[in-house]
Amino acid sequence: MNLQLNREMPIPLYYQVFQILQNEILRGGSKPGDLFGTEQELQEKFNVSRATIRKALEQLEAEDLIFRVTGKGIFIAPVKLKIDLPQLLSFSEEMKRRGMRPGTRLLGVETMHATDSITEQLALRDNREVLLVRRIRLGDETPIVITESYIPATAGLTEKSDFEGSLYELFQQASGRAVDQAKHTVEAAVADPETAEYLEVEAGFPLLKFKRVAFDSQARPVIYETGLARADKYSYEIWLKR
């Protein structure tokens, strides 16, 4: 990679350094926990001031790409799955985009009579039968999210369907209708003992709790999901424009 900084550009030097280091990390040449270097080494590498390097490193820390240990150096941080809203991707698609291997532990599938709340979310009418799919979603074999997905029985999926991959793709294959958009709600939560065991964390661990209603291209609700995600592995990013 070209480490040449353009000192004539209006972009601050620290941000140019940040961009180069960010690309270097995201290319995947290093693993989480690997030593990334020291401030002195980076200062010599880019031929800039220590203040410039420190500001670039602060930006990398804000992006959860590195962490620093006093007296030892700078290390590659564990991967944190960041969901960029409003782009709608399935968990499997998001994992692949981040260069991680998606996985699934299927906890159970059952047909049930929808509660009033689920009926309202899915706008069910005559047939209130839904398929409940409970799964733990993995990233590089690490549990990240536990989900409960409710799918109308009329979609064509059954308890014998293969729920290992993307639920959106599976839904489209079974029903011929693609997921087009979703309404997503996120709030804070903590892990109860059962959830903590599933996600391999301690009880009381901080989580992100979400609810999502996915719609097809005709704005018809097709999947209602609830989930709990590890806050150390999962985050949301929204671009706001005034």
**Residuewise pLDDT in 10s, the chain (242 residues):** 445 687 777 678 888 888 888 888 877 667 778 888 888 888 988 889 999 999 999 888 877 788 888 778 888 887 655 554 444 556 776 767 667 787 889 999 999 999 998 998 998 888 889 999 999 988 888 898 899 999 999 888 999 999 988 888 889 999 888 888 888 888 889 999 999 999 999 999 999 898 888 888 888 889 999 999 888 877 666 555 55
User: Which DSSP symbol is given to 203?
Assistant: T
Residue in 32, 239, 221, 200 with CA at minimum distance from that of residue 229: 200
Instruction: Record the pTM.
Output: 0.62
Name the packing angle between helices 39-46 and 50-62 (round to 10°).
110
DSSP code of residue 153 = G
Q: Which of 106, 34, 22, 84 is nearest to 240 (CA)?
A: 84
Measured distance CA(94)–CA(125) in Å, rounded: 33
How far, in whole angstroms, is CA 25 from its chain's centroid?
18
* Domains of the chain with CATH codes: 13-76 (1.10.10.10), 81-238 (3.40.1410.10)
